[in-house]
Structure 1
């Protein structure tokens, strides 16, 4: 088989597998990105609802303190038949005169209570009892953990007094949050003077869908395994089944000599009249005894040549017999091995190794006197 073709075929297979892995990873990467965005949106919706619920629970605590402390029957959470709208602005008569406070639309839209009367009562409560934003942060974090939402949170409270001075209080390291991490804001009081904001940020790792990531990792582990061991696996398979296609032009020897195997008995071959090769013992012998013991590799190669049709092997077959990989075993090393094999044959016999120039090698055995009869 043409060695260039084999190398190209192996490279095509490896490149094909690499391209398939890359395409699979790109498709899965898009799916993972979309899954992360969907999970982030779902978590944010749930975290917002939990934050507003936690604000309501803290307000209920303040409401109960007001009821029990002053024995009032008014409650922020009592059912009312009629609700008053939040006005565009409110007027306060202070010592230095009348002041008008305009209520921006975004504050009115995000007010916790959409009832003007409740907001008046809430302002009175907030003057007596500071809003416990630390407790709000703790309750929010606890509920997020129960909901299996993994994120870093912070709570910020901004209070605007009657002189329009803003005081800011924070629970959590707000400097670590970006403006885009602001999740929700709600407003309390008659002037909507208190702003409560919740911040949350998610690590990219917490948003990743574990199953999809494991699939991609396993895919690339399989590819690395394939890349490292493909040549060895291919070599092991080729040792079991070798398909050889060869087109060889060679000079014909006399008919009597051409297909003669010189097979004397089990794994013993006659190389010439008085020189024998014992493949089992890896020995060159003559009538006087042992001449030389061959190395295991040369012994295996010589026996394959003797058993082959016309004593001919292609370069690919020699690679397979020697257990070498076409890509890892250089041509220079191959030719050096062939030259050592030639010298060993020449040293103890008249057997020669002939190359036809097309990648095939033929073992030329000298004519035995018995072949000429």
Structure 2
């Protein structure tokens, strides 16, 4: 492998690995930030979904008497009390309300909490319905999450019953996002669970596609490195044609094309970048060196010096055998030249009418013309 191609290969590999590493590192760093941002919005939407479920029960009529003889005047909001006393069919009992439950109560007004206890006893919350409502609110905010709901209720005998939304066992195994409490005794606990898939949170498919395209482009460039460099050289590079005439050197600067032959101390540069060393009998390209027989070198130089690189069988016979060669000898010489070029160059020898022509393959000529 030629040094320039080797440098291109390892330079491209290092560049692609570096870009991929930076991309992956940035995604890993952004994941905690994205999750924290989504958690904040998930908490807001959970509370909103819970409020919507409670509002659905707002028109239920509840008989309420504050005193024995007459209604009792109530303030809009009652202060926190660690114990509340409630008389029921099970007698009169004191119920403890932890401060954390009161602070996270959906409704803090004493009277409304009492009403809500009655409403939720007659019309309890549905975990599946609440979870569906929460999911719909998250989707509106373009948040892709897996959610679950657990409803825990403590009855008047202080026994706890638990109901969970369907298909949420794996989510419920983790830590809860938050809990909200409802009722006079804060006896109903609604807990929301949420988890995120890393590929959903990071939206990794667009970056992955970009990285795959990057690597694909690199390997395509490397695979067609020789053709690309040949095209660029033919398109932009200017070469010096050196011709020896009567021991004087004439230097002509022109754009390199198929008709151009570079001769200097027995070296010829063919149109595809292959070097012919006529003195050492070598064809040299980017990847390997091919030893060529002296007669094949003479024949190749005849083509290079001929007009339009075309020779008849008679011209070849005259130059190589002084007109005494046979058709089989001519065919053998052409065959050896073709084999030498096939291993070391893009140039080919084709038969057109009565001429043998040294030329570039049609596919390369077409690509160069279209470009």
State whether TM-score is above 0.5: yes
Aligned to 2:164, what secondary structure does the other structure show?
A: strand
Does residue 1:134 correspond to 2:128, yes or no?
yes
Distance 1:89 1:297 in 2: 107
Give the C-alpha shift of residue 208 in structure 1.
Answer: 2.9
1:57 aligns with 2:56: no
Matched, 1:37 2:32: yes
Which of residues 230, 233, 242 in structure 1 aligns to 2:273?
242
Query: Which residue number in structure 1 is paired with residue 18 of structure 2?
Result: 23
Pairing 1:59-78 to 2, within 5 Å after superposition: 59-66=54-61
Where does residue 309 of structure 1 map in the other structure? none
After TM superposition, list the pairs within 5 Å mapping 1:284-363 onto structure 2. Answer: 286-287=323-324, 289-292=326-329, 293-294=331-332, 298-299=336-337, 320-321=344-345
1:204 to 190, 198, 201: 198
Unaligned runs of 5+ in 1: 1-5, 73-79, 251-258, 270-274, 305-317, 324-373
8 Å CA contact 1:87, 1:116 repeated in 2: no
Matched position secondary structure for 2:345: helix
Name the SS of the counterpart of 1:177 in structure 2.
Answer: helix
Equivalent residue runs for 1:124-273 within 5 Å: 124-177=118-171, 179-180=173-174, 182-209=176-203, 210-234=205-229, 240=271, 242=273
What TM-score does the superposition give when structure 2 sets the normalisation length? 0.61
Closer, same or farther in 2 for the Cα pair 1:268/1:37, shift >3 Å?
Answer: closer
Q: Is the 8 A contact 1:39 1:207 kept in 2?
A: yes
The 1:35–1:285 alpha-carbon spacing in structure 2 relative to 1, beyond 3 Å, is farther
1:25 Cα deviation (Å)?
0.8
Worse-superposed segment, 15-24 or 151-160: 151-160
Contact 1:119 1:189 in 2 (8 A): yes
Asked if the contact 2:177/2:192 (under 8 Å) is kept, the reply is yes
Change (3 A) 1:112 1:284: farther
> How many equivalent residue pairs?
281
Do 1:155 and 1:198's aligned partners in 2 also have CA atoms closer than 8 Å? yes
Q: Does 1:85 align with 2:79?
A: yes
2-side partners of 1:103 and 1:278: how far apart?
114
CA distance in 1, matches of 2:231, 2:202: 41
Structure 2 gap ranges (5+): 66-73, 234-269, 282-297, 348-371
Query: TM-score scaled to structure 1, two decimals?
Result: 0.61
Superposed displacement of residue 111, structure 1: 1.3
1:85-106 CA-partner distances (Å, limit 9, x unpaired): 2322333456777644332333
CA contact (8 A) 1:187 1:196 kept: yes
Deviations 1:265-303 (A, max 9, x none): 75689xxxxx97369xx997742642420375633588x
2:113 counterpart residue number: 119
CA–CA distance in 2 between the matches of 1:25 and 1:157? 45
In 2, the alpha carbon distance for the partners of 1:240 and 1:297 equals 21
